Structure 1
């Protein structure tokens, strides 16, 4: 984590730190062993949380601890410069930031690309290259925020560089705060008023709107976790402690000691009791942030009777010293190990995290310290800025260059590609001939040898490394698959727009991956097919949770779609399907039963309006990214096969079967014999990759299911 410790660095340059913590001075230049120990506690919480240590689900609060410490240290440094010189040099400030942060960050990013090349599947190379570029430019938090609003991307394997999001938040904050300090200092000198009060006012201008915004958006918006606007209050809180440090250091010991200890306990309790990032950084973030602020604020007055008794010990202080490098290194090493060895148990993950200490120590002693303590760079800030620019440029250019090593595997155009014209709802180009895929199974898929997993096949379409891109393609002028944040329905029309048989498909991305199959069936049989799909949003009257948050845009989208279906866009037949989701307000133990109840109510409501319903039983759900597995095991494809019974027992299928049982006007169609025909689900059938991730069909394979979908729908349509 990017915690700037220039205050301590300067103090150490003048004299070695005391052997025991003596945090009694109110001077911002005083070494605070307890704060060094808090840095260690923060990074250890993050590392243990990422390793999956039981009973520590909230290890991610270590990031919040870092933010408060950073705000305190950097604001203290800026205030000291203002007090001593009467002005603030932005060149000096950013030069210190550059030499403190950028050499180590660039080193890790360059090695991250090497780890990606040797250990990560090719399918993740391109996205990793862009992640490195975003990280080098300190914009990774906004990239993560955008991905959190992409339902499919949100379920991808974690980025090897995603931990750089927190560094980006800090640097974006420090683009604003020094400028505001300069403006407030100028105003104070003009008006002859006290500086400290104005500085607190400036921090309040940042903190209050930021915290209010965090409270407003965090419960429902997953991107709130990453964006700078919801995090600035945490850094401002640390800054407020720095502004009031002189006063707080005079607190009575009888008051300071229990408050400081209470703060430390609050941080630890938050890591144990907070079980999800949902809602962060809202009210739940007050525990670790206020706790950290209390340790810093009252630790000096508490002295050796406070948390410094534990936090100031030398082992913790050393871990705190290397915490920046340790934070940088632990995640790429852990992700590379997971990509190479598969899912790691807690013990193995802890071993990998422990191993990351080695490069962290080397980086600290041979990259961080030499650059940070360079007298040449200290005396010549413009040179330090140029060094920082070189580091940033090298990492960004390496990310751009890395994309050139990604093999050109565009291959043939997927059979599912839908090229739409400029007129909404009108297809102007027929789909190319489909690949064999499901056709290889013949008329008896359960007994066909073509569906049995094998280790090697002659060819695979689409390329597993680019399977994530093999999704249904829609109209060039707009997307018909609605994003997570939007509540406005979009519709695409396929087949014969003037057909007497009007079919509507409604649902989430599991409905969307049936679009190529249904489109082929509609074109073959002369039906009109209208599609209404939205990421992570089943066709349901009840409100659901997504990523631990109420999915209000889904509820609103459903209302609009239902109104359209029962109004001027009434279909002759409604086709639905979906993954499984938690119904809002229901405990985890009752999620499936609640889903069954709500599906029955929703479908019955449509039947009551004379709209018959066909339920496409949900597809198998794997616990691994099948395309990624195939790309790593081209000669051992059986490793990517999942037992049929297990895959079918997960997802929305079981709830759909129970909900449809006995409902008049509701027809359940199960086509999974053509998707997973054998006792183990083969990743490749008829030369076609079945899955583009863990639970979505490739559009190419979906297209080959067109005849099966058409055959299953004809008897239902004949009775309309």
Structure 2
């Protein structure tokens, strides 16, 4: 993806450089895989391996360039290296980020502007991969759409590698000068292996334990760039490979890369050891190009159209994804045909930016003569990208009519059923709403303040125990379930402190308390099943006075081997089995029924887009209950003797239509979660139901 200091062909065994068109052809294959995959073509489910191909190529080219400098001068000029990177990468980056900010402002809901604006800032400073990694395991980010700069994660990985690797080479060059008997390439080989081996081991470990994080973070990817570096270091050896072996190896490498794109999927554990296929395949193609000649794969890869596309691959990579995100935001799901049209259209801005911005800056004589000027220009383009993101953040509108404060205290659920506001919580009540809290554009941040480590990520099967409430309480209440039980964290904490309850919680993202097999991201949620079994054992050992549970998901697989067999009835049975086992162990159970689910409607986003027409953001109560966890919880509770039910739906949705604002408080934040502000106004009605239920359990 980062392009070229162009491809190189060492000659006479030691690294003089000449253009290698087959490298550009490899870039064409890599960008083709990525573009077709991002266009939504189902026949290429593993097109993301194109990024792995880019990693190897980049590691090879940059390392070759640095080796030639050491062989020529005995040292590495970091200033020259970074100046070269700056003028190659940053002008196009700055331009794309400006356009991306404008496209986001024009097409994406205002509720996303702050998140995406900060993403753009992170992309401009090449740290966005860490931001995306953090978001990937944050259930609170579940409503955040695809970032318009999500593709910058791989560029960030490369640039972080380009910080570490040249510094390591400087150290190695110093060692060579200090100990004159050392040979360059063996020393470099040891140096790059010191990067590759631990990175590969960590990649396997993190991919198995936290795959969502492993995909983005730098340590799991360094080994891929290191493979390219290894190829560059071994150049003199590759010149001695027999031509026949090179021909076979090159074609095998191409087949492996293509097959990787056809057969790997998003369900594949990635990167981990699976990424060896496209990376080693790419390395084989590069090695083959040294001696295979035109009969080998290099002949195909040197085809002029492929070389042309490869030379523009960096620009294409930058431009295609913001256009896809903008088109999707404007038209909805694109489908493969329209997706392909969008990525094809990306050729136009990619070509124009290459010819009018990138190449003129890259080959400007004044910049070639002055590293200081080059770095200054690069810094300015980076600043442009940062400003573009910050402007988007500053443009986030206020939709709540000024909010509360002073004498404008929001009553929230307190108005439901009151004599002063008999229509509270109905569609009719929305006509009088002049302000509300929290503001819709920041509703996703209105979350309960429990420590995030208390909510086990979707990847982990290991229970995490947290304690809150009254630490010296005589009554121990075990809180178990997914994020829907933890939306009650604030009111439960207040009630527990008042009543003298010690709360011990076991919660996991998107994982209810049952013994069935849920589906998560299209696959059996095996970590949820394992977590459930482990939590049950801990509950039996804890022997609490009461277990309190709630959840959002209302179905599991009737057939654990068939992801199409999701069933509410199967969830009822799974809950009955788990809950019965609990009560058989003499542990009472109280179920807080899930609140109505605005399935298909993102309430806070609708409010942000329709601040003067809140009635447009209502949904049917009965359908909302049917789509919620309550659809399985209520019938399951009826089948488990002694189980008590707490139903807060009347205070959350008092009428036939559930409304977005009650008592000047925005009710929903993300999916079907309540804002913490509204949950706090439910303390009294929750206490009225929960305290008697706990007392009855004794």
- TM band (smaller chain): 0.7 to 0.9
Q: Distance in 2 between matches of 1:639 and 1:119?
A: 20
> Which runs of structure 2 are paired with 1:79-478 in the superposition (5 Å)?
79-189=67-177, 190-221=179-210, 222-276=212-266, 279-407=269-397, 411-412=402-403, 434-436=411-413, 439=416, 450=426, 459-473=435-449
Q: Corresponding residue for 1:604?
A: 580
**Structure-2 separation of matches of 1:682 and 1:252:** 74
Give CA deviations for 1:564-612 in whole Å, capped at 9, x if unaligned: 78548x2345333343698998653466688666544432333123222
Contact 2:447–2:487, Cα closer than 8 Å, also in 1: yes
Q: Report the secondary structure of 2:503's partner residue.
A: strand
Q: Secondary structure at the match of 1:532?
A: strand
Q: Which runs of 5+ in 1 are unaligned?
A: 12-21, 416-430
Q: Give the direction of change, closer, same or farther, for the CA distance of 1:462–1:449 in structure 2 (3 Å limit).
A: closer
Check 1:296–1:658 CA distance in 2 against 1; reply closer, same or farther (3 A cut). farther
What is the distance in 2 between the residues matched to 1:274 and 1:124?
Answer: 31
Distance 1:294 1:580, change over 3 A: farther
Q: Give the superposed CA RMSD.
A: 4.1
What is the deviation of 1:552?
Answer: 6.7
Structure 2 vs 1, CA of residues 598 and 233 (structure 1 numbering), >3 Å: closer, same or farther? farther
The answer for the alignment partner of 2:480 in structure 1 is: 506
Q: Offset at 1:719?
A: 4.0
Shift of 1:396: 2.4
Which has the larger displacement, 573-582 or 346-355? Answer: 573-582
Q: In terms of mean alpha carbon deviation, does 148-157 or 709-718 score higher?
A: 709-718
Superposed, 1:533-544 pairs within 5 Å as: 534-536=507-509, 538=511, 540=513
Give the structure 1 partner of residue 6 of structure 2. 7
Q: Distance in 2 between matches of 1:39 and 1:573?
A: 57
Whether the aligned pair in 2 keeps the contact of 1:505 and 1:529 (CA below 8 Å) is no
Cα distance in 2, alignment partners of residues 582 and 307 from structure 1: 49
Q: Report the Cα offset of residue 251 of structure 1.
A: 2.6
How far apart are residue 315 of structure 1 and its match? Answer: 2.5
SS at match of 2:271: coil
Inter-partner Cα distance in structure 2 for 1:482 and 1:219: 19
Comparing 294-303 with 195-204, greater Cα deviation is found at: 294-303
Please say if residues 45 and 266 of structure 2, whose CA atoms lie closer than 8 Å, have aligned partners that are also in contact: yes
Per the TM alignment, residue 549 of structure 1 is displaced from its structure 2 partner at its CA by: 10
State the distance in 1 between where 2:615 and 2:645 align.
Answer: 31
User: What residue is the counterpart of 2:642 in the other structure?
Assistant: 665
**Partner Cα separation in structure 1 for residue 577 and residue 636 of structure 2:** 9
| Structure 1 residue 317: Cα displacement | 2.0
Change over 3 Å in CA distance of 1:678–1:161 after alignment to 2? farther
Q: Following TM superposition, by how much is the alpha carbon of 1:705 offset from its aligned partner in structure 2, in angstroms? A: 5.0
**SS at 1:610 equivalent:** coil
3-state SS of the aligned residue for 2:366? helix
How far has the Cα of 1:99 moved from its partner?
0.5
Deviations 1:357-407 (A, max 9, x none): 222221111111001111221122222112112222332244345444334
- Going from structure 1 to structure 2, the CA distance change for 1:697 and 1:393 (only over 3 Å counts) comes to same
Give deviations 1:443-468, integer Å, cap 9, x for gaps: xx9x9992599999655543211111
Question: Distance between the aligned counterparts of 1:236 and 1:591, measured in 2?
Answer: 44
Distance 2:141 2:650 in 1: 28
| 1:610-654 deviation line (CA, Å, top 9, x unaligned) | 222122333426345332233224456676556667755656455
Whole-angstrom CA distance in 2 between matches of 1:326 and 1:511: 45
SS at match of 1:280: coil
Taking a change above 3 Å as real, the CA distance of residues 600 and 267 of structure 1, as seen in their structure-2 partners, is farther
Q: Is the 8 A contact 2:412 2:662 kept in 1?
A: no
Residue 589 of structure 2: which of 603, 607, 613 is its match?
A: 613
1:53 matched to 2:41: yes
Structure 1 Cα separation of the partners of residues 615 and 262 of structure 2: 39
Describe the superposition over 1:95-136 as per-residue Cα deviations: whole angstroms up to 9, x where unpaired.
110100011111112222222333322222222232222222
1:10-69 per-position Cα deviation (integer Å, ceiling 9, x unaligned): x8xxxxxxxxxx999975623222221221222222222222221222222111111111
How has the CA–CA distance of structure 1 residues 683 and 354 changed in structure 2, closer, same or farther, with 3 Å as cutoff?
farther
Does residue 575 of structure 1 match 2:564? Answer: no
Q: Which string of whole-angstrom CA distances, capped at 9 and with x for unpartnered residues, describes residues 636-679 of structure 1?
A: 66765566677556564555456545222334555556656778
SS at match of 2:469: strand
Aligned counterparts of 1:413 and 1:393: Cα–Cα separation in 2: 36
Say how many residue pairs are matched: 682
1:673–1:390 Cα change, 3 Å = same
The 3 A distance-change label for structure 1 pair 655 and 588 is farther
2: CA distance between counterparts of 1:353 and 1:87? Answer: 42
In 2, Cα distance between the equivalents of 1:606 and 1:202? 56
Aligned mate of 1:627, from 584, 593, 604: 604
Cα 1:439–1:343 shift into 2, 3 Å: farther
Moved more, 282-291 or 335-344: 335-344
Secondary structure of the equivalent of 2:550?
A: strand
> Map of 1:475-486 to 2, 5 A cutoff?
481-482=454-455, 484=457
Q: Using a 3 Å threshold, how does the CA distance of structure 1 residues 672 and 338 change in structure 2: closer, same or farther? A: farther
Give the TM-score normalised by the residue count of structure 2.
Answer: 0.84
Residue from 532, 550, 562 that aligns with 2:505? 532
Give 1:499 deviation, angstroms: 8.7
Whether contact under 8 Å (1:455, 1:634) holds in the other structure is no
Question: How far has the Cα of 1:690 moved from its partner?
Answer: 3.3
Please state how far the C-alpha of 1:232 moved relative to its aligned partner. Answer: 0.4
**Whole-Å Cα distance in 2 between the matches of residues 153 and 361 of structure 1?**
35
Partners in 1 of 2:23 and 2:431 — Cα distance? 55
CA spacing shift, 1:121–1:440, aligned 2, 3 Å: farther
Q: Assess, with a 3 A threshold, how the Cα gap between structure 1 residues 458 and 47 changes in structure 2: closer, same or farther.
A: farther
- The verdict on how the C-alpha distance between 1:201 and 1:680 changes in structure 2, with shifts beyond 3 A counting, is farther
* TM-score with structure 1 setting the length: 0.82
Q: 8 Å contact 1:532–1:561 — kept in the other structure?
A: no
Q: Following the alignment from structure 2 to structure 1, what is the Cα–Cα distance between the partners of residues 669 and 541?
A: 34
Counterpart-to-counterpart distance in 1, 2:431 and 2:319: 36
Post-superposition Cα deviations, 1:135-179, rounded to whole Å, max 9, x if no partner, equal: 222111121222223221255222222222111111111112122
